[in-house]
Amino acid sequence: MQKDAKIYIAGHNGMVGSAIWRILQSKGYTNLIGKSSKELDLKNQQAVLDFMATEKPDIIIDAAARVGGILANNDYPYQFLMENMLIQNNLIDASLKNNIDKFIFLGSSCIYPKFAPQPLKEEYLLTDTLEPTNEWYAVAKITGVKACQAIRKQFSKDYVSLMPTNLYGTHDNFDLNTSHVLPAMIRKFHEAKENGNTPVTLWGSGTPMREFLFVDDMAEGVIFALENTLPEYLYNIGTGEDLTIKHLAETIQKITGHTGEIIWDSTKPDGTPRKLMDVSKMHDLGWKHKVNLEAGIQKTYDWFLENIDSLKKITI
């Protein structure tokens, strides 16, 4: 891969996109393109086609998506389905029409069936029903995976899909109405500590198992796919290790310094019982994560503290 290759990162201001941008720059890549949503509406097909025809990038990395946790997915099913399909389909189709040979599509582990065997293998895609609380987002991402697979099959282009496990890290979303579990816990425990170590109420039973990957490790996985021609169309990106939500909460409580009570609200949904990724395919090719969970949470909490004044003040 030439260091001056023109690389367009869709969603470059988001947690994942900004990590990819930082690490590409640190590795000497000099020709990166990023457009804010105000500069380029990825839901507008003609705007995306015009952008591709004008800029003529060599490579597309699609890190753009409407994302959120269980609450947001439940409350806005249509937006999670339609907006994600519009964004990815416009990018994929415009890439094909402009003869772009390399496209990296980022999805989510939620594409796999709710009760699929653990750990989740790539071949489990479309073998059973999805988790109802995030099926809208999952269906959208599945269509993106299949579109890239179809282009790979029909036009022999290097379009590959990477499915990360639960991501967290610097530049995460800490808005309690729309964030995922790990950043939401960081904010809840921090605010409870600041309020005199008041009790923290968390959703569910605490028993589901989850896997978490620091966003810089995800970015390294994307760059591995960028710099190599991967032989298959779909790869899991994760640590291959998981823990209970209860253990996660206790870890975050310790790092933030909160000493109050944790209350589990069992009237709220747990979601999928377990989601552990089988990452053996990427390991066999030579990629592996580097940041362990406690170190990653500490880095994330440090960033949260440094940026707390600029973060949204919305709370549940």
Binding-site residues for substrate, in ranges, read 188, 203, 210, 270
Question: What are the C-alpha distances in Å from 91 to residues 24, 97, 313?
Answer: 21, 10, 33
Please list, in sequence order, all residues whose beta carbon lies within 8 angstroms of the beta carbon of residue 288, skipping any fewer than 6 positions away: 279, 282
137 is catalytic: yes
* Cis ω before 119 (30° cut-off from 0): yes
Q: Which residues are annotated binding-site positions for NADP(+)?
A: 11-17, 106-109, 141, 164-167, 180
Q: Return the structure tokens found at 33.
A: 């393109």
Dihedral through CA 126, CA 138, CA 43, CA 91, nearest 10? -50
DSSP conformation class of 266:
T
Q: Which residue is catalytic, options 29, 137, 159, 233?
A: 137
- DSSP strand E in 194-294: where? 200-203, 209-210, 212-214, 234-237, 243-244, 262-265, 274-275
Q: What is the CA radius of gyration of the chain?
A: 19
Query: Could you give the 3-state DSSP secondary structure of residue 243?
Result: strand
Q: How many helices (H) and strands (E) does the chain have?
A: 10, 13
Q: Which residues are annotated binding-site positions?
A: 11-17, 106-109, 141, 164-167, 180, 188, 203, 210, 270
Distance (Å, rounded) from C-alpha 102 to C-alpha 57?
10
Q: Which residues have a catalytic role annotated?
A: 137
